[in-house]
Amino acid sequence: MDGKVKYYEGCGQEGPIRCIFLCEFHPTAGPKITCQVPENYISKDIFDTVSHYIIPKVQLQRCTLTVTLLGSKILGFPVRIDNKKYARNAYYFNLCFVCDAWARTVHLEPLVKKLTEYLLSMELETEWLSKQSISGEAKALGGLMRQVMQDINSRRMCTLTVGTTTTHLTVVRVNSDPTPVKDHQVPVFLYSRHSFVADQWDLTTNQILPYIDGFNHVSKIAALTDVEISLVRACVQNLVYYGVVTLVPIFQYCAVYSATPKLRQLTRCAGLQRQCVEFCARTPRQLPKVSDIFRMYAGMSYGSTIRDLCRRMKPQELAINERKLVLFGVLEGLIRRVYKFPITLHNDDSASIISDHSQPLVRTYNGLVCLDELCCQSGLSALQIEEQLERDSNVIFIVK
Amino acid sequence: MEVNPLNIFFVKSDSKGDRLLFRYPYTTENKDESKQKKYGRHNPYAINSTEDLLQNPQSQTSNICKGQLSGFTDEMLSTLFAVKAELCNRKFELKVNDVRFVGHPTLLPYRTNKDDTATMILINIVFALQASASHSVVKCYYDLSKRLGKALRHEEKRCSYLTEEMKIMLAAHDEVSVLDSEMKSDNDEDEDNLRHSVSSATYSSENGADNTPKSAFHLILQRSSLARSMKSVFEELSSTGIVQCRINKWVLLSFCLPHKAHQIHNRGLIIEPETIDKCLQKLRPYHGILLMVNPNELLGSIPLDSSSALLRLIKLYSPLKSLQTLAIEADLTLKQVSQLTGHLVYWAKATVIYPLCESNVYVVAPGANVHIHSPLVEEFAKEFPTLCLLQMLSEFSLPAPLWYVSRNGSGGGGGGRLARCVAWLLRRRLLLQLHTYVQFNSPHWGRDPEGKEYYCEKHDIFNQSCSVSFSSLNQMQLNVPEPVEPRETINTFPDSDEDYPTENNLNQTDFSHTKPIVIESEHIKYDKFRETDSANHSFDDGIDVVDGIKPTNGCDYETKADKVQKKIQGNSVDSGISSNMNGTNNHNGNGEIIENGHTDIVKTELSIDKTDSDKKSLPSRLSDISLKDSETTLNKDTSSDEDKFESDQDISPRIKMNGMMNGGEKKNGVSLNLKLQSEMSMDFSFQPPTVWNVPASCDVIDACRIPNEPPTTESLLDTFTAEERAALATVPASKNTDDLLLLAQLHKKGYFRGEQHLEEIMFMENVSRSQLMQLLDKFKDVLITFETEDPAVAMLYPYQ
């Protein structure tokens, strides 16, 4: 019942592999399932209706095909081997994964392809597949498919060994490309660093890892680790893609945050409260009160900086670490950062007025660069920059 | 971009086999280009290792080339789309590499030429999309395919339209293939060779096969009206996302792809139908609509056979009006209005807002495009020649009520212009409205009334693994409250009026430029502005009582009142109308109301309140809860009607006062109407009550009951727990019974759980903003306010 509500078609969630089968083109009987795990998941009738998508015409060989019908999704990668030794001079086969119709299956496509190519190479070398199909038992194949299904469903990775050959299969989440990382952004771990297996990552990533603490921004990490900044950016982007870290705005006392509608969750969800209280505490011995934390968050609005808030609320007396408070709020989506964008308006007389400015070249601001980024680029504090900009009558600020 | 279709196909399958009859667009990339691309992929200096079995032949990974479908022959597609009979009349979805095909195979009876025996024929209109298109896009295309199939089935049954069109198409195909076979007989061998090798599978399709159908499809497009319809469907989908097409000049097919349609007004804004559904569920009577297009154009574009309710709604539309007001004026139920709103939003003709009013607080939306060279800057300059978009936006850098912006801002030029400007900015999703929410600082954080802890799904896991006891944190201490000078309630009213100025001329501003239908005529629009609207009320707050001088135009209302009188339901929901009637009666006599009068009234009000609370507590049957629980209680029996009558009498002096004062004003807000409602119900209480089908979310009826229900302080304080009461006791303001009563009332109804914003409380509970603000100020030790956007409205903004 619950499952039906949660899993509807298009929910965008991944589902387990329900079945794996190998289908081939029999010289006399036509398309048929050689081996299926578990047995009879795809009935003969269903198979007959969809068989021409599973053993398709010639042009569709070596294409990832996904067909959704009758409540299930069938993924395949049809392959043909031309050789005189086979009846009809060719051997067609397709290894298919079956999932529920609601499930997302894009991430399984490379898996199907790789597994098929593994089988293909074994077939070419030792006729591993065709021999089994002729014998009609296909025990080895069945075992292999069962192992794939179990391991992928439970561990999302699988190591297959047949004879002397080995192949590794891993499910890789398919995400859209992460946006470029900017120097002023702060990477922060999404889960405990202890569960992070450092061996799986490259050397540069390992070098910058200790400095990812949720407060250091990218250019600071680069300075601290003595790594070229573009490498740090690339590493962080890579970590973002794999969902290890996320990027949050840099903490500054002059920063402005605004509560989001999600803030009211804090009044309701005890789990969130507990997490929040523990995270935001100055010391683990003295935990702050939820109501104080909520008051702090509620006080964050357009026009009031963290500095103002701290002066008013005195978080140190409430046992609240305001940096962690902000970090937690941003990570949980309780608050969002409000950025300030300087914009140069094009007035015709602008050039003459600012000519005596300290900087020789007057910069124009196009509305895409926020103050944080400017600070980071120029190495000035936000206050200095703001002062500088306010002297310029053509610059206006948009806060959003 | 991924919402655009790549191609549309029309496939038939009958006893004579399957055939791709038409596709659009049918021009494919030419041979040379594809060959170049093929070589371009490989490094010319690399050794081509044919031995490497896993690398060669290289498998194809993309079937999209320069935004067009490539690598499929027509024959191949027709076999793929001609599904088995078992798969007919259900969703067909096939993904090949990065192309997704969606269709609804339709089986229909078909008359062959020679005899009239009907055989079955399968037709499938398939759309090719990019595989990355979201599921809800795919669903919409599927729906379109299904509708096209149905239209064709209908036309085939009516006049054998399909038969005729197919005949034309087949004839064209044959004609071209005959010509072609003569011309290119030498090419055929070449082509055959290519087809049989796996390696060339990708590219062979481009060779011979495509030159033939190119001209055939061209011929078909000239000869067949069905082909032209399909072409127009494809083109409309790619350009606007709205399809208006008549199949065989008979069946009108209206279809909207909201993902695309909303991008006409806001580039990059993708609104899925699911989001619209969610938004509609959260729609409340105080929300309003903001049309994205000129209402006159919209009226013109609506088909003749459309619902008259929609036409009425659009004619009465104003961004200043709430749905409730629109419902009353257009003589529709609230449910109808919200459904129509959903319809308008779906078709990208409108968006949901909180009605424009001067107390609204706007900030620049987080997703707003503020690039200095964005096309919006130009558009804005065209619309408002003297203003600069970016300067305008910088006015909204601090959250301030609109009247403040218009008074201080350089973007002046009158409130009407500002309102037009804000409407424009809201349409482009450049502004976002902030609301104030109130949270009672209860010691029971995270517990429901039974004391159970609630966990949202996400944090449930954490709970299980967490060993720290949270209960120790539950003892709440309140800060020592600052001594608040106890003062007379009467005095506080003018006090608060300073914060929310009563006499700002902006109140008089006409927002009517946003009024669509009449733009020129001055006085009419003035009236329109003064029409009942909760939004108006919300920024007039105390002003309702204080300045009563408003220009009126009574005759408009008289007719309306007449009309309405026939259908007075003796029910509170109609109250808005009844107040109009009041207005018509009184409008001649409305004079200036002086400040003294105001204070007097307040005094009387308060005294009545006090006496009420002292002397009686009404039986619970009138309480809002009972009404809320069972909507059927609206269908009251006579006895309860009489009770209502009685209670009305008790309260009537206050109401009457207000009625006298405000009745003349044409601008009375809904909540004011609700006050007047009790008066009305006195007049009409003997009419048989009618059942009103009000959605449960619209607790307007509750709102009306408040003045009628003065419960005792004790009973209301029961809603607080012992700790809460202890905390309350330390607040000096709680000495004042009235304040405490109001607090308790609002708390009891759950307004202090951070769910409802101030405007909603004002709307539902018929309290003025100044009253609320005072209450919040007095109880600021136990009430926490925070400002954020209304989720229902924010849903229709681009993802941040």
**Structure-model confidence comparison of residues B303 and B161, the more confident one:** B161
Highest mean pLDDT among A341-350, B396-405, B616-625: B396-405
Q: A62 and B456: CB-CB below 8 Å?
A: no
Q: Which of residues 376-405 of B touch A (CB under 8 A)?
A: 388, 390-391, 393-394, 397-399
B66 touching chain A per CB within 8 A: no
The answer to whether residues A131 and A119 touch, using CB atoms and an 8 Å cutoff, is no
Q: Which of residues 33-62 of B touch A (CB under 8 A)?
A: 53-54, 57, 59-60
For residue B575, pLDDT beyond 80: no
A341 touching chain B per CB within 8 A: yes
Question: Which of B788, B795, B797 to mutate: most A Cβ within 10 Å?
Answer: B788
Site of tokens 């034309």? B168
B366 touching chain A per CB within 8 A: yes
The pLDDT of residue A102: 84
Q: How far is CA A215 from CA A224, A323, B113, B591, B597, in A?
A: 13, 8, 78, 64, 60
Q: B462 and A271: CB-CB below 8 Å?
A: yes
Which residues 6+ apart lie within 8 Å of A235 measured at CB?
A202, A204, A205, A208
Q: B96 and A68: CB-CB below 8 Å?
A: no
Residues A287-298 have a mean pLDDT of: 89
Q: Considering only CA atoms, which of A273, A274, A262, A271 is closest in space to residue A300? A: A262
Q: A80 and B198: CB-CB below 8 Å?
A: yes
3-state secondary structure of B47: coil
SS (H, E, C) B599-640: HHHHHHHHHHHHHHHHHCCCCHHHCHHHHHHCHHHHCCCHHH
Highest mean pLDDT among A83-97, B489-503, B743-757: A83-97
Number of A/B CB contacts below 8 angstroms equals: 234
Distance CA A186, CA A251 (A): 9
The pLDDT of residue A216: 92
What are A340's two structure tokens? 């300030």
Distance CA A274, CA A318 (A): 16
Q: Which residues from chain B sit within 8 angstroms of residue A271, using beta carbons?
A: 455-456, 458-463, 466
The pLDDT of residue A54: 87
B463 touching chain A per CB within 8 A: yes
The pLDDT of residue B127: 94
The answer to whether residues B137 and B125 touch, using CB atoms and an 8 Å cutoff, is no
Radius of gyration of chain B (CA): 33
Q: A53 and B80: CB-CB below 8 Å?
A: yes
The pLDDT of residue B635: 39
**Shortest Cα distance, chain B CAs vs residue A273, angstroms:** 8
For helices B737-748 and B758-765, give the axis angle rounded to 10 degrees. 100
Distance of CA B340 to the CA centre of its chain: 10
Q: Which residues from chain B sit within 8 angstroms of residue A299, using beta carbons?
A: 786
What are B676's two structure tokens? 């007047």
- ipTM (interface predicted TM): 0.88
Residues B705-726 have a mean pLDDT of: 63
Residue of B94, B134, B462 with shortest CB distance to A53 = B94
Site of tokens 């070098």? A207
What are B504's two structure tokens? 């700002």
Mean pLDDT, all residues of chain A: 85
Among the residues of A93-228, which ranges form H helices? 109-126, 128-135, 139-155, 203-208, 218-225
For residue A288, pLDDT beyond 80: yes
Residue-wise pLDDT for A139-191, tens only, equals 888 889 999 999 999 988 889 888 888 889 888 877 778 888 999 999 998 87
pLDDT-derived band at B495 (thresholds 50, 70, 90) equals very low
CB atoms inside a 10 Å sphere around CB B322 = 30
What are B131's two structure tokens? 């595989």
Q: Which residues from chain A sit within 8 angstroms of residue B461, using beta carbons?
A: 271
Question: Which of B78, B81, B96 to mutate: most A Cβ within 10 Å?
Answer: B96
Residue of A49, A121, A263 with shortest CB distance to B54 = A121
For residue B65, pLDDT beyond 50: yes
pLDDT-derived band at B404 (thresholds 50, 70, 90) equals confident
CA atoms within 13 A on the CB side of B634: 21
Q: Determine phi and psi for A137, rounding to 5 degrees.
A: -105, -50
Per-position DSSP letters for B280-331, written without gaps between them: HHT--TT-EEEESS-HHHHHHHS-TTS-HHHHHHHHT--TTSBHHHHHHHHT
**Shortest Cα distance, chain A CAs vs residue B475, angstroms:** 9
Q: Considering only CA atoms, which of B658, B636, B632 is closest in space to residue B767? A: B658
The pLDDT of residue B679: 37
Q: Which of residues 242-271 of B touch A (CB under 8 A)?
A: none
**Shortest Cα distance, chain B CAs vs residue A337, angstroms:** 9
B437 touching chain A per CB within 8 A: yes
Q: Considering only CA atoms, which of B107, B5, B531, B474 is closest in space to residue B320? A: B531
Q: B446 and A269: CB-CB below 8 Å?
A: yes
Over pLDDT 90: what percentage of chain A? 26
**Shortest Cα distance, chain A CAs vs residue B258, angstroms:** 17
The pLDDT of residue A45: 84
CB atoms inside a 10 Å sphere around CB B512 = 24
The pLDDT of residue B559: 39
Q: Where are the extended beta strands (E) located within chain A? A: 17-26, 30-37, 65-69, 72-76, 79-82, 90-100, 157-162, 165-170, 186-189, 245-248, 256-259, 335-338, 340-344, 395-399
**What is the DSSP-derived secondary structure letter of residue B699?**
T
Distance CA B577, CA B580 (A): 5
Of A212-226, B505-519, B770-784, give the lowest mean pLDDT range: B505-519
Residue-wise pLDDT for A244-267, tens only, equals 889 999 998 999 999 999 898 888
How deeply is A110 buried, as exposed, middle or buried, from its count of CB atoms within 10 A (0-12, 13-18, 19+)? middle
Radius of gyration of chain A (CA): 29
Highest mean pLDDT among A142-151, A353-362, B67-76, B525-534: A142-151
Q: B397 and A302: CB-CB below 8 Å?
A: yes
A302 touching chain B per CB within 8 A: yes
Residue-wise pLDDT for A9-24, tens only, equals 666 677 889 999 998 8
**Shortest Cα distance, chain A CAs vs residue B120, angstroms:** 18
Q: A121 and B53: CB-CB below 8 Å?
A: yes
Which residues 6+ apart lie within 8 Å of B363 measured at CB?
A258, A302, A399, A400, B396, B397, B398, B399, B431, B432, B434
Using CA coordinates, name the residue in chain B closest to A337: B366
Q: Which residues from chain B sit within 8 angstroms of residue A343, using beta carbons?
A: 370, 372, 390, 394
The answer to whether residues A252 and A306 touch, using CB atoms and an 8 Å cutoff, is yes
The pLDDT of residue B587: 39
Q: A268 and B398: CB-CB below 8 Å?
A: no
Q: A271 and B463: CB-CB below 8 Å?
A: yes
Residues B215-228 have a mean pLDDT of: 89
For residue B74, pLDDT beyond 70: yes
Residue type, A231: L
Q: A62 and B60: CB-CB below 8 Å?
A: yes
The answer to whether residues B321 and B350 touch, using CB atoms and an 8 Å cutoff, is no
Q: Which of residues 22-61 of A touch B (CB under 8 A)?
A: 45, 48-50, 52-53, 56-61
What are B165's two structure tokens? 């069109």
For residue B641, pLDDT beyond 70: no
Using CA coordinates, name the residue in chain B closest to A56: B80
Residue of A60, A275, A400 with shortest CB distance to B459 = A275
Residues A265-280 have a mean pLDDT of: 86
Q: A270 and B373: CB-CB below 8 Å?
A: no
Distance of CA B376 to the CA centre of its chain: 23
Residue-wise pLDDT for B736-769, tens only, equals 888 888 888 888 888 888 888 888 888 888 888 8
The pLDDT of residue A190: 85
Q: Considering only CA atoms, which of B607, B493, B598 is closest in space to residue B546? A: B598
Distance of CA B305 to the CA centre of its chain: 24
Q: Which residues from chain B sit within 8 angstroms of residue A63, using beta carbons?
A: 59-60, 63, 96-97
Quick one: CA dihedral B393, B396, B397, B403, positive or negative? positive
The pLDDT of residue B115: 59
For residue B689, pLDDT beyond 60: no
3-state secondary structure of A332: helix
**Shortest Cα distance, chain A CAs vs residue B334, angstroms:** 26
Residue-wise pLDDT for B157-179, tens only, equals 888 898 889 989 999 998 888 88
Residues B291-302 have a mean pLDDT of: 89
Q: Which residues from chain A sit within 8 angstroms of residue B63, using beta carbons?
A: 63
Q: Which of residues 85-144 of A touch B (CB under 8 A)?
A: 106, 113, 117, 120-121, 124
Residues B353-374 have a mean pLDDT of: 88
Quick one: CA dihedral A81, A83, A86, A88, positive or negative? positive
The answer to whether residues A252 and A225 touch, using CB atoms and an 8 Å cutoff, is no
The pLDDT of residue B328: 92
The pLDDT of residue B341: 92
How deeply is B543 buried, as exposed, middle or buried, from its count of CB atoms within 10 A (0-12, 13-18, 19+)? buried
The answer to whether residues A171 and A148 touch, using CB atoms and an 8 Å cutoff, is no
Q: A301 and B786: CB-CB below 8 Å?
A: yes
Mean pLDDT, all residues of chain B: 67
Per-position DSSP letters for A56-103, written without gaps between them: --GGGTTS-EEEEETTEEEEE--EEEE-TTSGGGEEEEEEEEEEETTS
The pLDDT of residue B496: 33
The pLDDT of residue B415: 66
A264 touching chain B per CB within 8 A: yes
Give the torsion through C-alpha atoms of B533, B535, B540, B541, to 10 deg. 100
Q: A59 and B201: CB-CB below 8 Å?
A: yes
The answer to whether residues B156 and B147 touch, using CB atoms and an 8 Å cutoff, is no
Q: B786 and A368: CB-CB below 8 Å?
A: no
For residue B144, pLDDT beyond 90: yes
**How far separated are the first and last CA of chain A, in Å rounded?**
43
For residue B236, pLDDT beyond 90: yes
Distance CA A234, CA A229 (A): 9
**Structure-model confidence comparison of residues B414 and B575, the more confident one:** B414
